[in-house]
Structure 1
Amino acid sequence: MATETQPGGPLAGLRVVEMGQLLAGPFCGQLLGDLGADVVKIEDPERGDPMRQWGRQLPQGVSLWFSVVGRNKRSVTLNLREKEGQDLARKLISEADVVIENFRPGTMERWGMGFEDLRRENPGLIMVRVSGFGQDGPYSQRAGYGAIGEAMGGLRYVVGDPSTPPSRVGISIGDTLAAMFATIGALAALQERNSSGQGQIVDSAIYEAVLGVMESLVPEWQVTGYQRERTGAVLPNVAPSNVYPTRDGQWLLIAANQDTVFSRLAKAMGVPDLADDPRYATHGARGERQSELDDLIAGFTSGLDAADLEPLLEEHGVPSGRIFRPVDMFSDPQFSARGSITNVEHPSLGPVSMQNVFPRLSRTRGTVRWPGPELGAHTEEVLAGIGISGDRLQDLRARGVA
């Protein structure tokens, strides 16, 4: 079981100051912390990160969501609207490798903490800036939420059933994509700093992060005028590749659209001649009859329980997988063998399970060392490192600065 220890992993020794809140900036901090960086999270003394109150389940008033996104971080409270709070933040940043912020563009500059201000004291600083629309352009000053970035980046339009309005993915995918691109940018900038000695800005816009994963959507429109539409659970003309019902009420995803794989599926279904039927023998033919082929396969799968269907398909080399919920993850041998879910001791909830650190490194693997800490849990420890302790710290606390 993970407990609070010294940072380890490939980024051990890297110092990060996280000034973001909610999800996009903090998820970038989580990723860096997972890989061993020392992440100091600056929060408002009164309210902290709003993520501390978010989540559909709040046992004992505790956000399980924050226990994940706040993990491996040290929480320091500073009022950044006060000059003294800004001065202390600048001191912390002057000794950091990376600073992360996801305020509306211009906020850091108003606080005297724009990149040019910070780099005067720390020329090698990497400043990661995550926002809805980026640091420039006509939309840069707009409030930018993940959902808006998903809409403008092209994702929302293609998600869902064609009979319904555009849908959303069931997680905050726009924010997390922007955070992942921000993390990649931070690591790239750190690598470049090894040769130049200079820091730089990493500008990660949510709408661009979404756009970046939209495959060939843009050239399809520009070259051919083809507009991708919502297609529900399938990709048009790629068959069979869908979710199919089982007798015991579960759903199994089967991906057998290649000719050789479809032949193996036909054998598993007990109708090997189906692979030679001109209606289904080629990729193009199956695509033209996608709906009727799906109905044919569903008739087969609905006659078997998932526990019998899965090994049958595996025996025939047909890629398949159940649609997992958490209950399935906890009982699955693959999750167990790789430790995909780990346990960490929470100060008020006891053992809490959460997803482990990904990706895995063979020699310097990252770990979950502790869950999201109590608000300000590390203020005294961190500020002592820059000479703030005793009566000075008490005075700052009494005045709401720390």
Structure 2
Amino acid sequence: MLMPRGPVLSASNCRALRSKCFLPGAGTASNERRRAFTRSAPCARSTIDNKHASTPLPLEGYRVLDMTRVLAGVWKDSRQPRTSVFVVPESLTCDSDVSESSRAEVIKIEHPVRGDDTRAWGPPYAPYKPGSGLEGPGESAYFLGVNRNKKSLGLSFQHPQGVEILHKLAAQCDILVENYLPDSLKKYSMDYESLRKINPALIYASITGYGQTGPYSSRAGYDVMVEAEFGLMHITGNREGPPVKVGVAVTDLTTGLYASNSIMASLLGRAKTGRGQHIDVALSDCQTATLANIASSCLISGKRDSGRWGTAHPSIVPYRSFKTKDGDILFGGGNDRLFGILSEGLGHPQWKDNPKFKTNADRVANRQELEADIEQISQSRTTQEWLEVFEGKGMPYAAVNDVQDSLNHDHTKARDMVVEFDHPSCGKIKMVNTPVKYSEIQPKVRMAPPLLGQHTDEILGGLGLDASEIAALKEAAVVS
């Protein structure tokens, strides 16, 4: 089977590590699991800038072939039928400070002339530095936000030589992620059935709007279409207002997270069986799944949902945002004790003993009266003043901030959620950091988002092509 690449710890250290990974057992199945782990996941060492410098990174040494575009909205092009884009998550690009060959490598395949479509999705753009030799407005903020820690290979698989290159790469990769319409890649022999013959251990994730099967499988559609057709838009927005899409492409993003989780599970499965598999991930399925308790309520009751509630909750009162003198604040009086804290903070401790408000059921029944009373009081002070009133009281509350306020929030800074790094052509750029903190290792932004074709020579050289062969491919417009 395909082995993850990377340096290996000493045999004694590997045995010690593996002994902690499995429960002791004398049975054959237990021994087989140990052997599968030994074969498919050699212990890789990384030197990272923390106190756990010798801790192996979870996915270090794996290779990902990223054949996705945009973010995760499905559409089609007259030249190449394509669908949504999955953002290869940073969990697939674990960082280290050792050589490139010892960490996860994500190779992004882009159109050789225009690149990923998000390169043109602006403004805003990060302008090119003087003397960079590049023309145009710069690198789009959208592209920069979703393509760090990747290498770019500009390649057209309309050319047989381009397909041959992709086959060679697929033979060397652990994971392939694509977002083309079902069956679109068969004519290029880049579908799962073709590639599994080249690499039986390949984990092949297909991300589409509506899946590989079903009456809508051949449909193209953006995130917003799936939000609309599969319930999310109907339950989002003000109570008496029209349906509203979420402010970010949340269905795209949750689909990427489901895909990432499925890839992780498939890697664990491959460690036992030695075989890869095809993963079918659909925006429509993921959107249906994330309806969560709303879907469960409809299934259990057999009734339609209760519609849009704005920032409020259908079953908890008070639990919504209220206007202040200069903005908005959200109060979460989720139970009787918390409502008592809110009542005292607002200067009306008698509310908690009022028969109309004493229990949550009472408050739900008298929602309009109570919420109107709260908002009349909340507008008497600024948001900051209310934050100071409830600080340390043990009740959930929050200011309603815009994005700049969120990025410059004291807590955001304390959690290192904004990082600055050097882009080779744009200079210093700030980006949102990876959100998960690990006790033993910490992924980070180690590679700036690539220029189009920035790593073409390096990647093709790794396949054994010399400079003259690469130059000929560029002359023929196979690569850029």
Name the TM tier (shorter chain): over 0.9
Report deviation, 1:69: 0.6
Q: Is the 8 A contact 2:93 2:105 kept in 1?
A: no
State how far apart, in whole Å, the 1-side matches of 2:298 and 2:386 are: 40
The one-letter amino acid paired with 2:70 is L
Q: Is the 8 A contact 1:253 1:321 kept in 2?
A: yes
Report deviation, 1:173: 1.3
SS of equivalent to 1:99: strand
Matches within 5 A, 1:300-379: 300-379=377-456
SS of equivalent to 2:329: strand
**Using a 3 Å threshold, how does the CA distance of structure 1 residues 9 and 67 change in structure 2: closer, same or farther?**
farther
SS of equivalent to 2:142: helix
Q: Is the 8 A contact 1:15 1:98 kept in 2?
A: yes
SS of equivalent to 1:29: coil
Counterpart selection for 1:234 from 294, 312, 317: 312
State how far apart, in whole Å, the 1-side matches of 2:408 and 2:252 are: 30
Q: Is the 8 A contact 1:26 1:69 kept in 2?
A: no
Deviates more, 1:164-173 or 1:57-66: 57-66
Matches within 5 A, 1:121-140: 121-140=198-217
Counterpart selection for 2:69 from 14, 21, 31: 21
State how far apart, in whole Å, the 1-side matches of 2:86 and 2:145 are: 9
Question: Partner residue of 2:113?
Answer: 46
Question: Partner residue of 2:147?
Answer: 70
Residue 225 (structure 1) aligned with residue 225 (structure 2): no
Residue 174 (structure 1) aligned with residue 251 (structure 2): yes
Question: Partner residue of 2:99?
Answer: none
**Using a 3 Å threshold, how does the CA distance of structure 1 residues 326 and 360 change in structure 2: closer, same or farther?**
same
**Using a 3 Å threshold, how does the CA distance of structure 1 residues 384 and 343 change in structure 2: closer, same or farther?**
same
Structure 1, unpaired ranges of 5+: 1-7
State how far apart, in whole Å, the 1-side matches of 2:289 and 2:452 are: 35
Counterpart selection for 1:98 from 175, 178, 181: 175
Question: Partner residue of 2:41?
Answer: none
State how far apart, in whole Å, the 2-side matches of 1:116 and 1:257 are: 52
The one-letter amino acid paired with 1:317 is G
**Using a 3 Å threshold, how does the CA distance of structure 1 residues 28 and 189 change in structure 2: closer, same or farther?**
farther
State how far apart, in whole Å, the 1-side matches of 2:367 and 2:377 are: 16
Question: Partner residue of 1:205?
Answer: 282
The one-letter amino acid paired with 2:115 is G
Counterpart selection for 2:322 from 244, 256, 259: 244
The one-letter amino acid paired with 1:20 is T
**Using a 3 Å threshold, how does the CA distance of structure 1 residues 289 and 151 change in structure 2: closer, same or farther?**
same
Report deviation, 1:118: 0.7
Counterpart selection for 2:124 from 41, 54, 57: 57
RMSD value over aligned CA atoms? 1.7
Question: Partner residue of 1:5?
Answer: none
**Using a 3 Å threshold, how does the CA distance of structure 1 residues 371 and 324 change in structure 2: closer, same or farther?**
farther
Identity %: 30
The one-letter amino acid paired with 1:287 is V
State how far apart, in whole Å, the 2-side matches of 1:193 and 1:331 are: 43
State how far apart, in whole Å, the 2-side matches of 1:352 and 1:360 are: 22
SS of equivalent to 1:208: helix
State how far apart, in whole Å, the 1-side matches of 2:89 and 2:117 are: 16
**Using a 3 Å threshold, how does the CA distance of structure 1 residues 26 and 212 change in structure 2: closer, same or farther?**
same
**Using a 3 Å threshold, how does the CA distance of structure 1 residues 240 and 378 change in structure 2: closer, same or farther?**
same
Residue 35 (structure 1) aligned with residue 100 (structure 2): no
Structure 2, unpaired ranges of 5+: 1-55, 73-83, 96-103, 128-136
Deviates more, 1:217-226 or 1:349-358: 217-226
Question: Partner residue of 1:273?
Answer: 350
Q: Is the 8 A contact 2:87 2:146 kept in 1?
A: no
**Using a 3 Å threshold, how does the CA distance of structure 1 residues 64 and 368 change in structure 2: closer, same or farther?**
same
Q: Is the 8 A contact 1:253 1:323 kept in 2?
A: yes
**Using a 3 Å threshold, how does the CA distance of structure 1 residues 370 and 99 change in structure 2: closer, same or farther?**
same
SS of equivalent to 2:240: coil
SS of equivalent to 2:109: strand
**Using a 3 Å threshold, how does the CA distance of structure 1 residues 316 and 222 change in structure 2: closer, same or farther?**
closer
Residue 109 (structure 1) aligned with residue 186 (structure 2): yes
Q: Is the 8 A contact 2:311 2:320 kept in 1?
A: yes
The one-letter amino acid paired with 1:245 is K
Tell me the TM-score normalized by structure 2: 0.79
Query: Residue deviations 1:216-241, cap 9 Å, x none?
Result: 33343333232221122212241111
Question: Partner residue of 1:3?
Answer: none
SS of equivalent to 2:304: coil
Q: Is the 8 A contact 1:15 1:38 kept in 2?
A: yes
Question: Partner residue of 2:340?
Answer: 263
SS of equivalent to 1:65: helix
Deviates more, 1:387-396 or 1:92-101: 387-396
**Using a 3 Å threshold, how does the CA distance of structure 1 residues 132 and 236 change in structure 2: closer, same or farther?**
same
State how far apart, in whole Å, the 2-side matches of 1:147 and 1:50 are: 18
Report deviation, 1:34: 4.5
State how far apart, in whole Å, the 2-side matches of 1:129 and 1:210 are: 16
Query: Residue deviations 1:118-170, cap 9 Å, x none?
Result: 11121110001000111112221111322222223211111112333321001
Report deviation, 1:255: 0.6
**Using a 3 Å threshold, how does the CA distance of structure 1 residues 297 and 190 change in structure 2: closer, same or farther?**
same
**Using a 3 Å threshold, how does the CA distance of structure 1 residues 20 and 330 change in structure 2: closer, same or farther?**
closer
State how far apart, in whole Å, the 2-side matches of 1:316 and 1:219 are: 33
Deviates more, 1:145-154 or 1:168-177: 145-154
Deviates more, 1:72-81 or 1:294-303: 294-303
